[in-house]
Structure 1
Amino acid sequence: MERLRWRGFKWRAMVLLVLGRRDDAHALFREMLAEFPGDAYALASLAHLEASAGRRTEALHWLQALIERHPDSGTHWFNYGFVLEEAGDYPAAEQAFRRATELSPELDRAWYGLGLVLIRLGRHDEAVVALKRNTKLQPMSPYGWYQLARVHVDRQEPEEARKIIRHLKRFEPKVAAQLERETGLLVESTS
């Protein structure tokens, strides 16, 4: 019976969100939490609603409650790190992303987030490690490759950046062209 009641909350909230009634969904998630204290779905949903409305402080409140109640989820730690990074708290974001990668080593987004934060902190050697892990997990996504090439340029390693541009030309020619424009590194395509 309890599981059925929980599902009822979830379905009603989903309908409210589809109808664009975010305030009503917010109230329903709070009601859900009153009935199911510490529920991961309700906490994550409240955090998402707040973050998507640009209310980072409130989102961080719900995310902190979420990781306190459910500390073993890499995804929760990733979301926490993402909002911390958006808020400009790079040291805390780094710790959250590192925890996410420890709990879920296959979570490519956490490696990417960690790489971005390390770039912002000026720790390029560590950023290379994180971004390489991201590109290994997500080889066809241009985002990690793009950032990795930029780090190589910052580290005065133009040949490494050229290798990445050459690689990107095979499946993301627009991103490769953007890197060429931004870095001034021209690379001939290899067929």
Structure 2
Amino acid sequence: MSVELKSIAARSWRYQLLKMKALTALVFAQRQWAEEIFDEMLADWPGDAYALASRAHLRSSRGAKTQAINDLKALVTTHPRRSAGDWFNLAYLLEAEGRLDEAEAAFRQAVELDSKLDRAWYGLGLCLIRMQRFEEAVAALKRNTELQPMSPYGWYQLARVHVDRQKPDEARRIIAHLKGFEPKVAAQLERETGLLA
């Protein structure tokens, strides 16, 4: 075996060993240790998708959202078409931090990569609501409800947007629809909006 092949094999073995150590740390709820292992992996393999995504998750879980956003930005920059979920995770954190323009762009990238990613349509709708772009929010939330017709969340937000748009009849239709499978959510909307189906 040539020196070059031995070097490649050693690096591959080291990568697998670090990955196994990180998984072991996570199994035993040693999150800080796992994060340190991902730091080590990224020192040797700076654009590694697995390590970036994993470290971003750990950082987000402990409330280090800015660091998690930085990891996710590095991930989508290095691997822009790897996963719609990567873009969704980035968008979710950006939206939570109030960085709405960036969040909207990331949600749109997520749905471009996977037009059936219902949670990205929902997140886009919420982001657009916060930006008071209600017409666009309606379109995003309608797509969410097409993909998840039995989930009350998209329907609830859609009804609220119709109230904000001064379209009470549309909101009433949604409340009536929700009564068929989520009567508690329908009742909540009736209380909050004063509209009866």
TM-score (norm 1): 0.91
The alignment status of 1:52 with 2:51, answered yes or no, reads: no
Can you list the C-alpha shifts for 1:127-158, whole angstroms capped at 9, x where unaligned? 00000001111111111111001001111111
| 2:180 equivalent in structure 1 | 170
| 1:149 equivalent in structure 2 | 159
**Cα displacement (A) at 1:100:** 1.0
Can you list the C-alpha shifts for 1:76-95, whole angstroms capped at 9, x where unaligned? 11111111001101111111
| 2:114 equivalent in structure 1 | 104
Can you list the C-alpha shifts for 1:22-44, whole angstroms capped at 9, x where unaligned? 10010111222234331211101
Greater alpha carbon shift after TM alignment, 144-153 vs 49-58: 49-58
| 2:70 equivalent in structure 1 | 61
Give the number of the structure whose alpha-carbon radius of gyration is greater. Answer: 2
Inter-partner Cα distance in structure 2 for 1:14 and 1:168: 43
The alignment status of 1:38 with 2:47, answered yes or no, reads: yes
Among 150, 164, 189, which residue is 1:179 paired with?
189
Inter-partner Cα distance in structure 1 for 2:19 and 2:184: 41
The equivalences for 1:10-25 within 5 A come to: 10-25=19-34
Q: Percent identity?
A: 62
Q: What root-mean-square deviation, in Å, do the aligned CA atoms of Structure 1 and Structure 2 show?
A: 1.7
Inter-partner Cα distance in structure 1 for 2:12 and 2:177: 49
Inter-partner Cα distance in structure 2 for 1:128 and 1:41: 35
Q: What are the ranges of 5 or more consecutive residues in structure 2 without an aligned counterpart?
A: 1-8
Among 129, 132, 140, which residue is 2:139 paired with?
129
Inter-partner Cα distance in structure 2 for 1:179 and 1:9: 51
Q: What are the ranges of 5 or more consecutive residues in structure 1 without an aligned counterpart?
A: none
Inter-partner Cα distance in structure 2 for 1:4 and 1:186: 65
- The one-letter code of the counterpart of 1:95 is A
| 1:159 equivalent in structure 2 | 169
Secondary structure in 2 aligned to 1:171? coil
Can you list the C-alpha shifts for 1:50-92, whole angstroms capped at 9, x where unaligned? 1111111111110111011111132111111111001101111
Secondary structure in 2 aligned to 1:106? coil
TM-score (norm 2): 0.88
**Cα displacement (A) at 1:18:** 3.1
Inter-partner Cα distance in structure 2 for 1:114 and 1:21: 34
Aligned residues: 187
Secondary structure in 2 aligned to 1:99? helix
**Cα displacement (A) at 1:5:** 5.4
Secondary structure in 2 aligned to 1:12? helix
**Cα displacement (A) at 1:8:** 4.3
